[in-house]
Amino acid sequence: MAFSVTTPIYYVNSDPHLGHAYTTVAGDALARHHRQRGEDVFFLTGTDEHGGNVARAAEAAGMPPKQFCDEVSERFRRLTTAMESSNDFFIRTTDPEHERRVQDFVQHLYHDGHLYEGTYAGLYCSSCEVFYTEGDLIQPGNLCPIHNRPVEWVEEKNWFFPLSKWAPKLLELYDANPDFVRPRARYNEARSMIAGGLEDVSFTRATVSWGIPVPWEPSQTIYVWVDALLNYRTAQEYGLGRDVTAEFWPTSLHLMAKDILRLHGIVWPAMLLAAGYEPPRGLFVHGYFTTGGEKMSKTMGNVIDPFEVIDLLGADALRFYLMREVQWGQDGDVTWEGLHRRYEGELANDLGNLVSRATAMIVRYREGRVPEGRNALEPVHESVAARLDAVDLSGALEEIWTLVRSANRYVEEQQPWVLARSDEPEQVRALDDALYTLADTVRSLGVMLYPYIPASAEKILAAVGDPGAITWERAALGTLAAGSEVRQPEPLFPRVEK
RNA sequence: GGGGGUGUAGCUCAGCGGUUAGAGCAGCCCGCUCAUAACGGGUUGGUCGCUGGUUCGAUCCCAGCCGCCCCCA
């Protein structure tokens, strides 16, 4: 089995923020989970670097575009590293290997008659090199929101992709794949967009210089979204130093926020169908964040910086918080307060403390060896796997947490500290069972939590004498060998000053 | 302007035609001591955005309105 998963490539006109971190964690958790299921995985992320918006941001920063892109892209790369993302490749659309392939792809469409020449007209700001709609502009007077100057009505010759023509094929694709877009509401949304009629899209720009030249008409550049979407294909062709499309194409799953559903659910599959490539197997569309009920923005000064969170609480804390707090597929509200609450209440108190108490008792009552016994708790790994198969990341985590809670309840019910005072064989056996249950349950939690909090999961597995045993079969209960060596680790999630 | 989503306990969210609407957190009471002063039990708390409609019966279906989010114009 092969599984390929992508985040969108992140646009370098602004710095990395929590939304980027979110999609990256989601992709990483899925990638790690599929790897632990024994599948070959290609997990892709990267940066999108062309277009008028980037050129403008570079100019504002007083830098040539490429140098600007190098710097911002590097910050995105640092975010993936800081978050312990296990992406197999980090693509940049300014990679020459990508640029060349984008030209080939577009040339191929042109050659096969899939593009036609048309007129693109709109309100254009020559400083931004961007077309605006009236709603974007400052009224009255149609002023550019960046430059506060009137925009002008500009008409340009562009090459168009006849998207409308592909509507029947797209509908076929949707009807044949009821899970093509998840969650269901987004599928309905995309499908009704198609059924309601599509506009052809301009694939080239005459007025944007920072882009990949159109091969047969080098005065124009390829529209940045065409360039960007193609990363999913080109990365598989060169990212690993060899072409892996035979194994990983079509992409199993594209992850994205709801703002770019139309591009991924409609334009992208149509492009691929036109070129004779198989469209992706599926999309998952997640929501947007607010903080304290309001949009995050620099001007509001309410931005939560992922680097700051990682510095303070660690990558696992951020990963856990994002996957736990926000219902996967819905919009959600994230705050520092909520982050601390989850960190203390769930990571430190529920999970961290469970690991501490379980290991401490085995060290204390059984010299640090896991006794013979059987696990008395109900397993959850099957429902966890089922949730993950349905790409329900927060739902799977919720399932896992029921086992964390059961284990803490189990300790209170068994009262191992009472059993430990007796030499009666029955009590000794009861204590063995209790301690085995705890060690084995903690271990199973380590396996299931590995996709979400990999560093902590590895510490858990090492603490119960089963280091590195992350394959999914080991998520089942009762697979810990008696005699395994247990030590009490340092607190996994130490208390932190707020 | 058009399309889509969303609005359920103080907070984060489940539920989605049918007995007294659920969970976690927070609050309150009690228990325990293995553990990161952690854990467990109990409990308080809701006109299910508003207004109509369909129905024997609606949080759940339909219509309109309001707030917030996204896309397209």
CB A251 within 8 A of CB A281: yes
- Say yes or no: Cβ of A366 under 7 A from any atom of strand B: no
Check residue A155 and give its pLDDT.
Answer: 84
| Dihedral (CA of A469, A473, A478, A479) sign | negative
Q: Closest residue by Cα to the C1' atom of nucleotide B71? A: A259
Tell me the pLDDT of chain A (498 aa) as tens digits.
Answer: 899 999 999 999 888 988 899 999 999 999 999 999 999 999 999 999 999 889 989 999 999 999 999 999 999 999 999 999 999 999 999 999 999 999 999 999 999 999 999 988 777 777 666 677 766 666 666 777 666 777 788 888 999 999 999 999 999 999 899 889 988 888 888 988 898 888 899 999 998 899 999 999 999 999 999 999 999 999 999 999 999 999 999 999 999 998 899 999 999 999 999 999 999 999 999 888 888 777 777 777 778 899 999 999 999 999 999 999 888 888 888 888 889 989 999 999 999 999 999 999 999 999 999 999 999 999 999 989 988 998 999 989 989 999 999 999 999 999 999 999 999 999 999 999 999 999 999 999 999 999 999 999 999 999 999 999 999 999 999 999 999 999 999 999 998 875
Taking the CA of residue A166 and the C1' sugar atom of nucleotide B2, their distance in angstroms comes to 22
Check residue A338 and give its pLDDT.
Answer: 87
Fold of A335-475: Isoleucyl-tRNA Synthetase; Domain 1 (1.10.730)
- Say yes or no: Cβ of A471 under 7 A from any atom of strand B: no
Residues in chain A: 498
- Say yes or no: Cβ of A411 under 7 A from any atom of strand B: yes
The residues with which A43 forms a beta bridge, in sequence order, are A5
Check residue A131 and give its pLDDT.
Answer: 74
Q: What is the DSSP string of A136-204?
A: GSBTTTTB-TTT-SB-EEEEEEEEEE-GGGGHHHHHHHHHH-TTSEESHHHHHHHHHHHHT----EE-E
Ranges of each domain in chain A: 2-286, 335-475
Taking the CA of residue A249 and the C1' sugar atom of nucleotide B46, their distance in angstroms comes to 50
A317 residue type, one letter: A
Report the SS3 class of residue A117. Answer: strand
Tokens of A462: 């090492």
Residue in the block written with tokens 């939690």: A445
**Which residues from the 277-306 window of protein chain A have CB within 7 angstroms of nucleic acid chain B?**
287-288, 290, 293, 295
Check residue A260 and give its pLDDT.
Answer: 92
Superfamily of domain A2-286: HUPs (3.40.50.620)
Nucleotide nearest the Cα atom of A290 (by C1'): B69
Taking the CA of residue A364 and the C1' sugar atom of nucleotide B72, their distance in angstroms comes to 65
Taking the CA of residue A434 and the C1' sugar atom of nucleotide B13, their distance in angstroms comes to 33
pTM: 0.95
Nucleotide nearest the Cα atom of A184 (by C1'): B5
